[in-house]
Chain A
Amino acid sequence: MADEKTCSTGRILDVVDLHKSFGTLEVIKGVSFGLDHKERLVLMGPSGSGKSTLVRCLNWIEPPTSGRIVFDGQEVQAGACDIRKLREDIGMVFQQFNVFPHLTALQNVALGPIVVKKLPRADAEAEARELLAKVGLAHRADHKPGQMSGGEQQRVAIARALAMHPKLMLFDEPTSSIDVELIREVLDVMVKLADEGMTMIVVTHEMGFAKEVADRVIFMDRGLIIETGTPAEVFEHPQQERTQNFLSKVHLA
């Protein structure tokens, strides 16, 4: 038992032979990988290769068709394991922000702890203020998303996810819908998180961010992992032709 425990402190996530189909269309065709505590994984690949689907399977927003997911020492199964508990422990940041437009920034961040963790409102809001300060939005606490830029909305979304104290953060192209000049402010927040030791999986085509932050890069194509390694390995010496093709296009862009 003691052995298992020391083992599981290193590992946060194991994905084994994951498949996902939409009807007859198989989108994830058997993906396996693991993730250690504090590890930063960047996921890349061409459009339609299944990056979003894979990430969404991890917190069961898309239920996988088959395969195993072991999170924090617990095998995740629909019904058997409590999916909601899993989602409390996994933060998610979406390409389209998906902030709640009827709530202020502060309420956006405080709502999860109040509703899900049953935290007293005052405590939740106090912490929400700290989190907003951390993402550089202390002055925007009482504004609604409609009055904010994309970069600000995405930072609210990050604070909202952090408020649940997740053990793992998922980012699905967090900067793809943001004006170029505002991308940096979002990436800076993510770098700060990484520096603090947050475990994260990030789908992104931001090469600079990947090189700076990622411990490992996974390259996906057509529902399969076709290459994996450190940023230096994958970016400087890609083994697969499809990786090379993709990287040359991203470099040009």
Chain B
Amino acid sequence: MAIDFRLIWEKLPFLLGGAWTTFSLTCVSMVFATVAGLIVGLLNMFGGRVLGTITRVYIEAVRGTPALLLILIVYYALPRFGLNFPQFPAAAVSLAVCYAAYIAEVFRSAVESIPMGQTEAAYSLGMSRLQSLRYIILPQTFRRVLPPLANEFAALIKDTSLVAFISMEDLLFRSKMVSAATYDYFSPLVGAALIYLVMTLPIMQWSRSLEKKVD
């Protein structure tokens, strides 16, 4: 079974159209997931007992179930309760809800990696908890959080392929469409793999170089 590069080349515009869906879905989901993840993470750490428990349940529930399940629920089950999402928003919402939980954990471990002495020094100056967060802890957190966030971004690019299950024409889905039309079940997938790599590798590389800078 040979790789038919001519076929890949011929169908490249079609595949790139799918890659655009993949990329824009990743970006939209990531923005919402990051904002929500920051809020959830802060509530989990500093929101007190009730909010802390609620956010913990949410984080563990999401981490303990497949992302695909959430996508299927949002797209197929929620309409029965009168909540109708078109494909793209349904996918974006599900992925954002998932990744917000992961990202909340990223923020939490970044905050926890900052020595207690920093908080104590802030308190010893008479700062409130909120002030010590705002001026001392969070600014230090944001540096440490960039590399793991970039890794989450790369992971999200790959996880968007799950939307093929709700027939969204992302990169993976379109490569399968090409396969179905040409009876070549290999080359289009290789094409898709190469395009995924073009998107993920630079991000992972960037993340690694950031990590070095932080140390």
Contact = CB atoms under 8 A, between A and B. Distances in A.
B64 interface: no
A26 B180 CA distance: 74
Interface residues of A, number: 24
Contacts of A160: 121, 125
Given A111-B135, A115-B135, A98 B127 contact: no
A84 B126 contact: yes
A112 B127 contact: yes
Interface stretch (A6-14, A41-49, A85-93, A196-204): A85-93
B110 to A, nearest CB: 13
A115 B118 contact: no
B124 interface: yes
A87 B127 CA distance: 8
Interface in B84-134: 115, 117-118, 120-121, 123-128, 131
B128 A92 contact: no
B interface, how many residues as a size bin? 10 to 19
B125 A98 contact: no
Nearest to A93: B124
Contacts of B131: 115-116
Contacts of B127: 84, 112, 115-116
B140 A116 contact: no
Interface string B49-75: 000000000000000000000000000
Nearest to A99: B121
B120 A100 contact: no
Centre residue among B117, B118, B135 by max chain A CB count within 10 A: B135
A-B interface, 6 closest residue pairs, ranked by CB to CB distance from nearest? A88-B126, A98-B117, A112-B125, A98-B121, A92-B124, A87-B126
